[in-house]
A = this chain, B = another copy of it.
């Protein structure tokens, strides 16, 4: 790699254009009044010298990085990667860059990464998937711009964007009941996400509302990781008991796929013997066979919205509304079938 050709600064441009650095700066930033003639001259000098403003110097002076931090527990999971994609694209659209960081290691790592804000390495942060009970977050949010995506803690009023998980669950169960199911199980999780709690509540309430008493034996918990393997395990527990459920509401698509493959292994046909509903609607649900019936979350839009809220606050000082709910949608495909009542 050859030595970078002597960096050209705003001073060089000023000299070339026979004006002061201030004027060049004003032209480039379109701030202050400058005559059209000068503008033209400056642009020509910029072009002639191939000047590129030093973002570092600019950021330093203006005390803004035009960069946001995104913390995600995982970036290979399609649910998160779609959100990340939404955030990322919207950021660029609004002339911001974004640092995406895995925080697999949990709270300690989150805290460590959040230090980027006091260090002036980022202007604001979007948190994906924070668990409940992190009260220290409130203090942090009083000092720095922050938006939470999908998950939040109702007791800690931090601006957040999500879907209505309770309603979504209720709708899913209603649908199963409507097509004739009475013995409806669920594969939930032991994590501390609000969404998990709300979906469980929706599941129970919808059953009760229909006059069906929720049964403990129809409820199974997958691991915190929402992994395929733990979906298999949970499904096995539910389906291999005597008088098993005829329908399963899973709180994620991956879990649902595990459930379906497990059902097949046990010798049950999906959807003829058991119906399965997933949650999220990640791409692979349509490639899976049978194609998954699921509750679709607008992941990409969720991400976009988070970025939009945060950046409008950063760039224009607009305050961030505490709660934004985006619409979900039941997508009925092949993994559910009606049952003669």
List A residues at the B interface (Cβ < 8 Å). Answer: 1-2, 4-5, 52-57, 59-60, 63, 65, 67, 75-76, 78, 81-82, 84-85, 88-89, 92, 97-102, 115-116, 118-121, 141-145, 228, 254, 257-258, 261, 264, 283-284, 286-289
Q: How far is the CA of A99 from the CA of B67 in the complex (A)?
A: 9
B53, B54, B85, B287: the one within 8 Å of A261 (CB): B287
B65, B82, B257, B258: the one within 8 Å of A76 (CB): B82
Min CB distance A123 to B, Å, is 11
B76, B99, B228: the one within 8 Å of A287 (CB): B228
Task: Give A319's nearest chain B residue, CB to CB.
Answer: B1
A-B contact pairs, 25 of them (CB 8 A): A2-B143, A52-B115, A52-B118, A52-B119, A55-B121, A56-B59, A57-B60, A60-B60, A67-B99, A75-B75, A76-B81, A76-B85, A78-B81, A81-B81, A88-B102, A89-B102, A97-B116, A228-B286, A254-B287, A258-B287, A261-B287, A261-B289, A284-B287, A287-B288, A289-B289
Query: Are B76 and A78 interface neighbours, CB within 8 A?
Result: yes
Which of A5, A258, A261 has the most C-beta atoms of chain B within 10 angstroms of its own C-beta? A261
Min CB distance A189 to B, Å, is 18
Min CB distance A263 to B, Å, is 11
Write out the residue numbers on chain B whose beta carbons fall within 8 Å of the beta carbon of A53. 119
Q: How far is the CA of A94 from the CA of B340 in the complex (A)?
A: 61
Q: How far is the CA of A93 from the CA of B82 in the complex (A)?
A: 25
Query: Are A75 and B85 interface neighbours, CB within 8 A?
Result: yes
Q: How far is the CA of A114 from the CA of B283 in the complex (A)?
A: 30
Min CB distance A130 to B, Å, is 18
Min CB distance A119 to B, Å, is 5
Min CB distance A181 to B, Å, is 24
Task: Give A265's nearest chain B residue, CB to CB.
Answer: B289
By Cβ-Cβ distance, the 10 closest A-B pairs, closest first, are A60-B60, A52-B118, A76-B81, A56-B60, A56-B120, A55-B121, A55-B119, A54-B120, A52-B119, A81-B81
Write out the residue numbers on chain B whose beta carbons fall within 8 Å of the beta carbon of A102. 85, 88-89, 92
Query: Are A257 and B142 interface neighbours, CB within 8 A?
Result: no
Query: Are B76 and A283 interface neighbours, CB within 8 A?
Result: yes
Query: Are B120 and A1 interface neighbours, CB within 8 A?
Result: no
Q: How far is the CA of A98 from the CA of B101 in the complex (A)?
A: 8
Write out the residue numbers on chain B whose beta carbons fall within 8 Å of the beta carbon of A67. 99
Write out the residue numbers on chain B whose beta carbons fall within 8 Å of the beta carbon of A142. 1-2
Query: Are B88 and A75 interface neighbours, CB within 8 A?
Result: yes
Query: Are A4 and B283 interface neighbours, CB within 8 A?
Result: no
